[in-house]
Structure 1
């Protein structure tokens, strides 16, 4: 059973203990009915991606004109198999740049891939996690290290990926929550956007992710936070008798050069996400 890494980053904890996972007979049936097709979808998508990448990489290098669509296809159909509603609003960013969003659950990976082809930015330790690390590498995740000596090299990597047309996705809160709030944004990663090589052509699009719980369930039903185990949360999601929905709101892209520094840009993105989140539900 996978556990959250608690040694390398700060985690957010609720004042109340997570809701217990209770699955009756019907719940376990739904786990199988939804879980088996979902597993086959993810596995099949990974196999196809790796097979296509064997030809795509030598021909196209860093660009992914074909394989970029595979995670999007998998993500869209994952929500259909789970029975979770999916809706979006706002225009997708056309310019080169990054996407930043609030973070509530492992479901965010499916949600943010479903409409927009993105590449996640993650700490280097994730690359070593069993299963998850391999999947992250295969789908083009950018891994970064908290080592000032490597900042220049990482900025160069960002530049190469962005100029190749990749949309890099960050979670500036630094951790996930119960989905009922937006935590203050950490500004460290925004500093890379102001590098001389990136600032003039770089845009950042804030995206608000909002989960609406199934009828009769706590508002934080889909939240995955602290050191909650992945396995029970996955079972709870698969075995839900009723499902809720996830809503994505795409805000206007912000041009990096319009802001004096990383703190101003981070505050702008946080305000946009926090305001839309507050309209959907009062912050706790």
Structure 2
């Protein structure tokens, strides 16, 4: 099997940050636009997971040849970067006069909405994996703008931002977002498959996970805490994280 060539980061960044070349004055008009390609890739990943994304599948959705697709986007890696940037989208500011804490809660909920609307983003949102894009960089800058008035060392600001981001990603993963067809070879394609998986398993688990063997876990399970990760549950965990940060700031 031939070794897959690593994409050129310069070309990836040029696509993300540059202006698409104008269409030639002569010759056939392009059949599709770059935005149509990004949208088709996003729709495919939303429906079937990132594992299903290929240049061939995207070309089929658009009704063009696969080789034609490569005239717009060099490869799958570049396309995923473009998809992620568009999925992040513009960053609305927090309410006017928001405190640093209110601002971080605002950005945390934007992150959660991103992963709920596009579960595949969880698999690429790992820090350091994706190159910086216009929308993701704008969002990161907004987070640091909220932290800047605290006067903390840069490393401490980065640690706070990373902690909140890790909480958001962990909470979304815990709710079943981001499952793909490769997970456990189980054929998961979306959150509904995940729900059906647990619904089918529950009758079997009832006889295994009993109140007598696991009294504390059983009490939480019986109360329905695992049935749905609600907004209130997300906010409770987020607030406890922010409580710790706020207490640390008070001690400085």
Q: Return the TM-score normalized by structure 1.
A: 0.23
Q: Normalized per residue, which structure has more helix? A: 2
Q: Normalized per residue, which structure has more strand? A: 1
With a CA cutoff of 8 Å and minimum separation of 6, indicate the structure with the bigger relative contact order: 1
